[in-house]
């Protein structure tokens, strides 16, 4: 009991067009730690406040986007249980052997109705540079750049999000803190497997498998302002913000990595419990739901994805 099964987003594998530029962006500007570059060219990164070996994996490719988003489970038994439930739901599950990523155990993968690959795994080594656990300082070395504390969640664009919601809630045991309902059905859903306000979110979109943004958690609104200072200083392409989301109440900036993948840095947001009612937004208020201060969507929100 307590939190059982899936724990949290554990790995996001991103496609980037130029690895050197991408590493500079995520390490120098966002403030992630460089963990390793492996023979296949993939680069492994970790936020300073994460305990496990890596959380963001960069793969050089011709097209930007998200290869997959993986959730860490609390044991292999849980992963095996999910495999059965996923197959019972009708999805095909494939296996990724232990060691496909350094320090990482076996993973299972499958594609949900929105066209995104999701993976589950139970084992990853603790980082050699993990936060201290013996009479620790609050940080080992002073956080750098935008001071990202952890890879937090992603927002994905694709079709069939009602089925996606059904799958995540019935098979993977997520709950739904927030949703946007349009006259013709669900437009967007925010889901969590913990009591963070969101671990993953989906927006309805014709083209499958698209990434809207990958988000990183900052300490507070002051660090959001500091992140904005850094974006201008290093001429990082900014989409919108500093602002607040009505949905989740997070304080936020959207911006882009050099390959065009949208990033988010955010802080705040409420603590979600599954006995809290779902917050529901209608088509008249969706603009305020997404961008609380602007009270309307910008063009990029609905169209720019990778």
Site for a second copy in 123-152 (CB under 8 A): 126, 130, 132-139, 142, 150
C-alpha angle with apex 36: 230 to 156, nearest 5 degrees? 60
Using rule CB under 8 A, residue 189 touches a second copy: no
Of 102 and 225, nearer to a second copy (C-beta) is 225
Residue ranges in 261-280 that form contacts with a second copy under rule CB under 8 A? 268, 270-271, 273-280
97-116 residues in contact with a second copy (CB under 8 A) are: none
**Which residue, 48 or 58, is less far from a second copy as judged by CB?**
48
Question: Which residues partner with 179 through β-bridges?
Answer: 189, 280
Residue selected from 230, 265, 290, 305 as contacting a second copy according to rule CB under 8 A: 230
Instruction: Return all residues near 93 (Cβ < 8 A) that are at least 6 apart.
Output: 83, 86, 87, 108, 109, 110
Query: Is the separation of the CB atoms in 157 and 116 below 8 Å?
Result: no
- Catalytic residue numbers, as ranges: 153, 198, 213, 245, 254, 264
> Which of 92/134 has CB closer to a second copy?
134
Contact in structure between 203 and 178 (CB atoms under 8 Å): no
- Helix (H, G, I), strand (E, B), or coil: what is residue 20? helix
Instruction: Look at the alpha carbons of 67, 72, 76, 82 in this order and tell me if their dihedral is positive or negative.
Output: negative
Please state the φ and ψ torsions of residue 186, each to the nearest 5 degrees: -60, 130
Give the shortest CB-54-to-a second copy separation in angstroms.
15
Show the tokens assigned to 303: 């169209």
Which CB sits closer to a second copy, 3 or 303?
3
Residues 42-61 that bind a second copy (CB under 8 A): 49, 51-52
- State yes or no: residue 28 binds a second copy (CB under 8 A): no
| Gap between the Cα atoms of 66 and 279, Å rounded | 28
Per rule CB under 8 A, is residue 78 in the interface with a second copy?
yes
| 150-169 positions binding a second copy, by CB under 8 A | 150
Which residue of 228, 265, 290, 305 would you call a contact of a second copy, by CB under 8 A? 228
């Amino acid at each position: 009991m307590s939190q059982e099964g899936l724990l949290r987003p554990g790995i996001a594998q991103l496609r980037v067009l130029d690895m050197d530029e991408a590493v500079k962006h995520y390490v120098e500007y966002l403030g992630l730690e460089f963990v390793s570059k492996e023979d296949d060219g993939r680069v492994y990164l970790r936020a300073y406040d994460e305990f496990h070996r890596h959380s963001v994996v960069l793969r050089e490719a011709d097209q930007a986007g998200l290869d997959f988003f993986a959730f860490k489970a609390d044991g292999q038994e849980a992963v095996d249980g999910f495999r059965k439930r996923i197959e019972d739901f009708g999805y095909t599950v494939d296996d990724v052997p232990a060691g496909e990523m350094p320090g990482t155990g076996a993973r299972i993968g499958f594609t949900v109705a929105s066209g995104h690959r999701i993976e589950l795994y139970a084992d990853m080594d603790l980082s050699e540079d993990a936060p201290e656990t013996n009479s620790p300082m609050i940080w080992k070395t002073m956080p750098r750049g935008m001071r990202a504390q952890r890879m937090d969640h992603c927002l994905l664009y694709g079709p069939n999000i009602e089925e996606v919601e059904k799958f995540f809630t019935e098979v993977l045991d997520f709950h739904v803190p927030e949703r946007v309902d349009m006259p013709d059905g669900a437009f967007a859903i925010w889901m969590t497997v913990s009591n963070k306000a969101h671990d993953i979110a989906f927006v309805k979109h014709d083209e499958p498998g698209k990434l809207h943004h990958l988000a990183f958690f900052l300490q507070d609104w002051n660090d959001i302002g500091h992140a904005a200072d850094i974006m201008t200083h290093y001429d990082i392409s900014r989409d919108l913000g500093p602002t607040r989301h009505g949905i989740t109440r997070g304080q936020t900036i959207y911006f882009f990595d050099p390959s065009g993948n949208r990033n988010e840095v955010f802080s705040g947001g409420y603590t979600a419990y599954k006995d809290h009612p779902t917050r529901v937004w209608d088509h008249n208020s969706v603009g305020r739901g997404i961008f609380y201060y602007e009270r309307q969507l910008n063009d990029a929100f609905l169209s720019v994805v990778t």
